[in-house]
């Protein structure tokens, strides 16, 4: 039942389709399997993938896959971003994009719902 959550990790990246920036924040949760990671390691993991030319969905998946490969019980990664390709070109809309990836125990429906609620509403956590 242990869960570690880090919210609002800022990132800046470049869209591989349009060569324009997208930026936003990552919310990350994991369930340790005997050891915890330093917070700075998690921020560096986000930076590692956000520095690449890519798409948001792949970045979200790669962060989840790498953290899960470290032997944790579960991982949830939610990315929210603004895309300048949406604001500057074509539809010229301010819509934000949210992508999510769940691994391990967080793939189960009840755990996924619990972790999403914990990330969205930290003051209404199940720890109280």
**Catalytic site positions:** 15-18, 56, 83, 85
Three-state SS at 90: coil
Phi, psi of 22 (to 5 degrees): -135, 150
Cα separation of 67 and 106, whole Å?
A: 13
């Amino acid at each position: 039942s242990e869960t570690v959550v880090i919210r609002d990790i800022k990132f800046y990246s470049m869209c591989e389709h349009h060569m324009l920036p997208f930026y936003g924040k990552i919310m990350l949760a994991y369930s340790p399997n005997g050891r915890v990671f330093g917070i700075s390691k998690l921020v560096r993991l986000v930076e590692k993938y956000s520095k690449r030319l890519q798409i948001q969905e792949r970045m979200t998946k790669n962060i989840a896959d790498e953290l899960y490969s470290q032997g944790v019980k579960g991982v949830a990664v939610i990315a929210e971003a603004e895309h300048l390709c949406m604001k500057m070109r074509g539809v010229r809309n301010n819509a934000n994009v949210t992508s999510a990836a769940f691994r391990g125990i967080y793939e189960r429906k009840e755990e996924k719902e619990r972790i999403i609620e914990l990330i969205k509403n930290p003051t209404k956590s199940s720890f109280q």
